[in-house]
Amino acid sequence: MTEPADDVDAVVAAWRRERPDLDVTPLEVLSRVSRLARRLDLARGSAFAEHLLEGWAFDVLSALRRAGEPYELSPGALVQQTLVTSGTMTNRVDRLERSGFVERRPDPGDRRGVLVRLTPAGRDIVDAAMADLIEQEKSLLSQLSPSDQSLLATLLRSMLAPLESREP
């Protein structure tokens, strides 16, 4: 059975024609990953927009939700999980606090520190956005069988894990 052609096939063919001296095989994988990432960003944006959230807000709220009861983390932990600067995180927490989705409270373990806690409204909105996100992502994966999805996850993990382990 022949696989369906996509736009990457045309790009790869054109590069092979124009630069036969280059092995453009990596484009066959990574250009598809890049194009899928763009479509995933659009699907995520759509899921978040249904709840009047932006991607950055979902990232912060979901980090707090994944922390488990009492759904709180230090600003430093949020910085690590969301890969932004501390100044950016301060701005994001300020905005989420004004929206009523998080609150700051003193850190009982460090009298100079604060913890950021998810409010009930924040929990409700991140839970609803997550449910919609999962539906969007299921739709994106619908062309693959469950075993192919598992294989793809394994292959992507084997590629991503060494890259992430090199990051500070």
Give the closest residue to 155 by CA, choosing from 8, 29, 24.
29
- pTM (predicted TM-score): 0.82
- For each of the chain's 168 residues, which pLDDT tens digit applies? 567 689 999 999 999 999 999 999 999 999 999 999 999 999 899 889 999 999 999 999 999 999 999 999 999 999 999 989 999 999 999 999 999 999 999 999 888 899 999 999 999 999 999 999 999 899 999 999 999 999 999 999 999 999 888 876
The three-class DSSP label of residue 119 is coil
Q: Which of 69, 48, 73, 70 is nearest to 127 (CA)?
A: 48
Q: Which domains does the chain have, with CATH numbers?
A: 52-142 (1.10.10.10)
